[in-house]
Amino acid sequence: MSKSHRVALVTGGTVGIGAAIAEALQAAGYRVAVNYARNAGTAQAFAQRTGIPCFAWNVADADACSSGLAQVQAQLGAVEVLVNNAGITRDAMLHKMKPEQWREVIDVDLGGCFHMCRAVIEGMRERRFGRIINISSVNAATGQAGQTNYAAAKAGMIGFTKSLALEGASRNITANAIAPGYTDTAMVAAVNPEVLAHILQSVPAGRLATPAEIARGVVFLADDEAGFVNGITLHINGGKYLG
């Protein structure tokens, strides 16, 4: 099947890395839809600029994921490429972290990955094709003070991805992860400047990644010809972590 007939869904796809992924997949010939959870104005502007349809639901809600996927597939067709990019941070040192800060990050970042994969996997198995790309983080490998919740969720995604790769391989379904380093997004821009300067000192490349650099990795893993690449974590971090 040509890419022009393949449908790709990107969660958290209206801003930052997610938006870059959606646009890169569109440029590569996929029919793309994106999900978002908040800020309808931003989503509307993204849709008007790109022509990519946007659908609102909370990936932490299993039923919302199922109904949201049904909406996407009713409009575009069966989703054959899923990019789990939606994620949040609720940073705090562990001795100050509230239970709700832990639960919210785990539910969105890791739970959302499960809910979306669960929603698409049966259809992918029936069609004997699928590409699942889960966006983890360099901090899943290195850790980061103040992010025990986020690092745990993103590390969990990597183990999840490896197990799903084993389950789907015989049906031509691949599951891979990408672990971006610090990237030039609004989330990183909100980091304390002194902390960010310290982080950049630990990156051999001496700079932040661009969202487009992360997106290129997704386009590679989504390709029909990447069918023998399965269960890996692609580290795109400027040399900060050598996995």
- pLDDT tens, 118-150? 999 999 999 999 999 999 999 999 999 999 999
Domain assignment present for residue 228? The answer is yes
Domain assignment present for residue 98? The answer is yes
Which CATH number goes with the domain that contains 199? Answer: 3.40.50.720
CA dihedral 196, 201, 202, 203 (to 10 degrees): 90
Write out the residue range of the structural domain in which residue 90 sits. 3-236
pTM: predicted TM-score of the whole model, two decimal places: 0.95
Strand partners, 176: 133
Domain assignment present for residue 41? The answer is yes
Positions annotated as catalytic residues are: 150
Domain assignment present for residue 241? The answer is no
pLDDT tens for residues 143-187? 999 999 999 999 999 999 999 999 999 999 999 999 999 999 887
Domain assignment present for residue 145? The answer is yes
Domain assignment present for residue 242? The answer is no
Domain assignment present for residue 220? The answer is yes
Domain assignment present for residue 164? The answer is yes
Q: How many domains does the chain have?
A: 1
Report the alpha-carbon distance of residue 175 to residue 131 in Å, rounded: 6
List CB contacts of 31: < 8 A, sequence separation 6 or more.
Answer: 4, 5, 6, 7, 8, 76, 77
